[in-house]
Amino acid sequence: MDPRLNLFASPTSGRALKHFMAAGKALKESPLPAATQELVSLRVSQINGCAVCIDMHTKEATAAGETAVRLHLVAAWREATVFTEAERAALELAEQGTRTADGAGGVPDEVWARAAKYYDEEQLNALVLLIALMNTANRINLITQQPGGSYEVGQFH
């Protein structure tokens, strides 16, 4: 598969992506645990079918010490015993925030309450922005058919 566009070659998209990547860097530096960030990024990308983001976040998580078992079980986190209650709450919020068209009214109050039980306000801010940022990245990559498989750890840092 060949990408439809080289997003970094365009002056307009190149400038916009520079800001987009700066937002991602700010979130990486947030108090939201790094493991949670990678699990959420991976789950959102799985739901959206974004190969390049699945490739990226699987490799980044592995490099950060995440286990293969946990990465393989992200897609079935509800039935898996390898995630903390906090991670489960973050994954549930990520799914609800990604599948907004599936549930009238957006994220249910009980889903929000579960996340708020484990994350403080600063972490919740980062989590919400991460979910939104990942959905945006997934859509950009899907529209332009960016292929997965060639990402190298740290490539965009």
**Tens of pLDDT along 108-137?**
999 999 999 999 999 999 999 999 999 999
Residue 109: CB partners within 8 Å, gap ≥ 6? none
The burial class, CB within 10 Å (0-12 / 13-18 / 19+), for 142 is middle
Domain contains 136 = yes
Q: What is the CA radius of gyration of the chain?
A: 15
Count structural domains, the chain.
1
Domain contains 108 = yes
- Tokens found for residue 47: 């739901």
Q: What is the span of the domain harbouring residue 85?
A: 30-143
Q: pTM to 2 decimals?
A: 0.93
Tens digits of residue pLDDT in 58-105: 999 999 999 999 999 999 999 999 999 999 999 999 999 999 887 767
Residue 61: CB partners within 8 Å, gap ≥ 6? 35, 38, 39, 42, 71
Highest mean pLDDT among 5-9, 13-17, 133-137: 133-137
Which CATH number is 49's domain given? 1.20.1290.10
